[in-house]
Amino acid sequence: MKGVVFNILEDMVTEKGGLQMWQKVLDKAGVDGGYTAVSTYSDDEMFSIVGAVVEELGIPAEEVIGAFGVYMFGQLASRYPVFTDSASDLFTFLESIDSVIHLEVKKLMTETNLPSISCTREGEKLLVMNYRSPRKLCILAEGLIYGAAEHYGCGIKIDHPVCMHKGADHCDLQVSLTDE
Ligand code: HEM
């Protein structure tokens, strides 16, 4: 996982609990915590840190990862505004993740570990996103999508009927526009 993701997690934890909490999390996870944005660190290191945040805050992993996704979207959108600027609506933006955004990430950074995400429109108000990744971070993807919806000022709900955590080889994230 790229250092930029660790940097954003550090920002979220320090915003909530100060540097002291981040230090406690690093100690609990047994890592030293120096991360450079474009360097790659082991996925296990990220999972240990998330596990330590879960223990420290006493809230379930799914909630921590989902909230991190929402937060991560805001940070990515402000660090790399070109991607949200070039898509005029939420579904067009989501459809551009694989073919534009993550493709550019691969060009900018070496040794990336990105998911595969393909989208199918099933009517004006429904986009089905097919997510595949050995890291099975579908809940992070959900959080990122909720963050994107906030950015575009859209109300959405996400149904997740097919999931890699339930033995499937991919996840289906059905993103519906609501009227809110
Ligand atoms: C709603 C929009 C997005 C979704 C659903 C999404 C999804 C994801 C997911 C789930 C991961 C974790 C890796 C995995 O699952 O295997 C990831 C990694 C990443 N994404 Fe995205 N992403 C989105 C937008 C963006 C944007 C706007 C950027 C800006 C450049 C970005 C850059 C990255 C980077 C740098 C990583 C880490 C790659 C690595 O560690 O090698 N993503 N993305």
Condensed to tens digits (0 to 9), the pLDDT of residues 124-164 reads: 999 999 999 999 999 999 999 999 999 999 999 999 999 99
Domain assignment present for residue 83? The answer is no
DSSP letter string, the chain: -BHHHHHHHHHHHHHHHHHHHHHHHHHHHT------TTSB--HHHHHHHHHHHHHHHT--HHHHHHHHHHHHHHHHHHHSHHHHHT-SSHHHHHHHIIIIIHHHHHHHSSS----EEEEEE-STTEEEEEEE-TT--HHHHHHHHHHHHHHTT--EEEEEEE-GGGT-SSEEEEEEE---
Residue 180 has pLDDT above 80, yes or no: no
Structural domain span for residue 53: 3-59
- Residues 42-86: pLDDT tens digits? 999 999 999 999 999 899 999 999 999 999 999 999 989 999 888
Q: What is the C-alpha to C-alpha distance for residues 166 and 28, in angstroms, rounded to an integer?
A: 29
Domain assignment present for residue 44? The answer is yes
Q: How many residues does the chain have?
A: 180
Token readout for 25 is 């999390």
**Which CATH number goes with the domain that contains 137?**
3.90.1520.10
Over the chain, what is the mean pLDDT? 96
Q: What percent of the chain has pLDDT over 90?
A: 96
- 116 and 154 in a single domain? The answer is yes
**pTM check: above 0.85:** yes
Q: 114: Cβ below 6 Å to ligand 1?
A: yes
- 53 and 94 in a single domain? The answer is no
Report how far ligand 1's centroid is from the alpha carbon of 152 (Å).
18
- 172 and 93 in a single domain? The answer is yes
Residue 179 has pLDDT above 80, yes or no: no
The tokens 């959080």 sit on which residue? Answer: 143
Domain assignment present for residue 107? The answer is yes
Q: How far is CA 143 from the centre of its chain?
A: 6
**Most ligand 1 atoms within 8 A of CB, residue of 102, 136, 154 to mutate:** 102
Would you put residue 9 in left (φ > 0), alpha (ψ -120 to 50) or beta?
A: alpha
Domain assignment present for residue 159? The answer is yes
Domain assignment present for residue 81? The answer is no
Going by CA atoms, what residue is nearest to atom 13 of ligand 1? 114
Residue where a domain stops, chosen among 59, 78, 105: 59
Total number of domains constituting the chain? 2
Domain assignment present for residue 75? The answer is no
Q: 101: Cβ below 6 Å to ligand 1?
A: yes
Domain assignment present for residue 80? The answer is no
Ligand 1 nearest atom to the CA of residue 147, by list position = 1
Domain assignment present for residue 17? The answer is yes
- 105 and 167 in a single domain? The answer is yes
Q: 175: Cβ below 6 Å to ligand 1?
A: no
- 95 and 149 in a single domain? The answer is yes
Report how far ligand 1's centroid is from the alpha carbon of 114 (Å).
7
